[in-house]
Structure 1
């Protein structure tokens, strides 16, 4: 059963737990927000992430928490570490692409879980990793397979992007659990991690963590296979947190920029918190710089019909 966890304006949007690496979808008029979960022991400055969390809202302000839908150890082949992830819906099922530590093979791997409802519970869809170090031909790399992001294009072709220090992408078959072609590379300035793929008005947008500590930059293309044109930094370093993980959500006439900072008491790079602010586009399709606020976003009315991402609320 879902439990109300926040019913007031302001960032961070979740305040009773440390949350990170956000992703969100809209299903039947409800937003589902998926996050990582920072829980290092007191006095420890390191990542301790064992499960992912799911929250839902009908207005972007009142959030309800659902029972834990997925843990890293739900993948029998994984040894732990619930890193960045993204959920996408296809053919009535919900697919959750996650980065975890591989149990049998050194380094991180990307797995995929599936559920019949957006709040889960989710289960391992294939019983093995979808992407490993061997998949990309770099067996000794430790963290290359991080931060999966998925887009189903207008022609119904699905694509998976991911990476750390190098951005990769590959086509997915319609079943969403098999690769459909060779793995390709995307060359982006100062690419660190945290890729997010988005499409609007025939433009493809690829957001990512830029440098370290991480700012958020983006590139644009008319084709998903490039060429990509670097457009610059849109989000500065988020508070007292060295990482950032951007997501974009269109909902009821607004476009939202979802990210994390270290804004809660005792927060920081290993105790992060998800925040939401507005995202706006210029007439030429480029993205305006993000204004990070403590006020956050306003509750959105059910009848909102404003063109997405074009005017201030």
Structure 2
């Protein structure tokens, strides 16, 4: 096992070594005053870009090219708290590259919060999809009453710029949208996040401003899913809860916080199985569960990404040219929880369909 980790670490270092600072555009002044850090060999991978802070990378392959849809962290001076008010992001920059290890392009601002009519503050982790000859950018942001909903914006190119709809998706709430296209062409949105993501305030798809986090012996809050309509701008059905089960078939309780859902849902398919992965939040794991339907239930299988440096953990998974990759973030550049940088590492499956754990530090 130790030998496998060493081999994996060497492969990751090789494929990522040319990424550090490799942006098509000259470095620009960011409100966070990013300072390019020298390569640090304690890390398995190096930041994809260093001229801005980026996080929560949702990666996709469009037209044979990898596009990354991250959050854009900035130092706004907002006081830190458990609700994440200091994550006060205001726009999105889209990154792209021909292949992992290749030159990275920062396509500039794709969408700004001031161009979203219904938005109040905090433009958090986005995702993207392609259908109807159109690219769709899905994003969570608080409305003017400080309640998170999920919006959608459109573009004719994967890098944008994107034009936001005038209202959020009806029936949407909370954070971290992940849009998954199944083999039959159907699209599903997975979403939700507790604590600052407000998921604990929603019960039976109704908002309760007094909703509280669950107690340790209560069942954990469950993530959500809804099939998208053909227009990709609305839900085709009521939002459903997703069951995540332990090896004995039981739902997790809140005290099982090393395995229960917290935020950062991602869905991908491998050998006919549905892999639902997510962050456990306060225990800092990215874990995965497997099911036979896009709606679940999903049975917990193991640790996908060990805790990274920094409080948050958020990821995505893609296949490119027959190889699988895990995109994630840490705080190598800043050392600060809310000023993060995106990275990529190879993802390796075992013969039984299980996934080898990725470690962000050697």
Which range, TM-score by smaller chain?
Answer: 0.7 to 0.9
Is residue 2:179 matched to residue 1:150? yes
**1:60 Cα offset (Å):** 1.9
Is residue 2:53 matched to residue 1:18? yes
**1:59 Cα offset (Å):** 2.3
Larger Rg, first or second structure (1 or 2): 2
Deviations 1:80-109 (A, max 9, x none): 211011011113211111110112x44111
Q: 1:1-313 residue pairs with structure 2 within 5 A?
A: 3=25, 10-41=45-76, 45=80, 46-61=86-101, 62-103=103-144, 105-124=145-164, 126-131=165-170, 135=171, 145-165=174-194, 166-188=222-244, 189=252, 190-239=260-309, 241-264=310-333, 266-293=334-361
Counterpart contact for 1:262–1:272, Cα < 8 Å = yes
Higher helix share: 2
**1:28 Cα offset (Å):** 1.9
Call closer, same or farther: CA 1:293–1:88 in 2, change over 3 Å: farther
In 1, Cα distance between equivalents of 2:115 and 2:335:
28
Deviations 1:45-98 (A, max 9, x none): 422211111111112221111121112232100112110110111132111111
In 2, Cα distance between equivalents of 1:170 and 1:96:
17
Runs of 4+ in 1 over 4 A off after TM superposition: 42-45
Structure 1: runs of 5 or more not aligned = 137-143, 295-313
Structural RMSD (CA): 2.2
**1:4 Cα offset (Å):** 6.4
**1:152 Cα offset (Å):** 1.5
Counterpart contact for 2:281–2:313, Cα < 8 Å = no
Tell me what 1:307 maps to: none
Counterpart contact for 2:70–2:93, Cα < 8 Å = yes
Counterpart contact for 1:4–1:64, Cα < 8 Å = no
TM-score, structure 2 normalization: 0.72
Counterpart contact for 2:281–2:312, Cα < 8 Å = no
Find the residue that maps to 1:15 and give its secondary structure. Answer: coil
In 2, Cα distance between equivalents of 1:4 and 1:280:
34
**1:27 Cα offset (Å):** 1.8
TM-score, structure 1 normalization: 0.83
Deviations 1:180-213 (A, max 9, x none): 0121001334211000111122111111011404
Call closer, same or farther: CA 1:43–1:211 in 2, change over 3 Å: closer
In 1, Cα distance between equivalents of 2:91 and 2:78:
21
In 2, Cα distance between equivalents of 1:101 and 1:222:
34
Structure 2: runs of 5 or more not aligned = 1-22, 28-35, 81-85, 195-221, 245-251, 253-259
Find the residue that maps to 1:16 and give its secondary structure. Answer: coil
**1:29 Cα offset (Å):** 1.9
Counterpart contact for 2:315–2:326, Cα < 8 Å = yes
In 2, Cα distance between equivalents of 1:59 and 1:211:
30
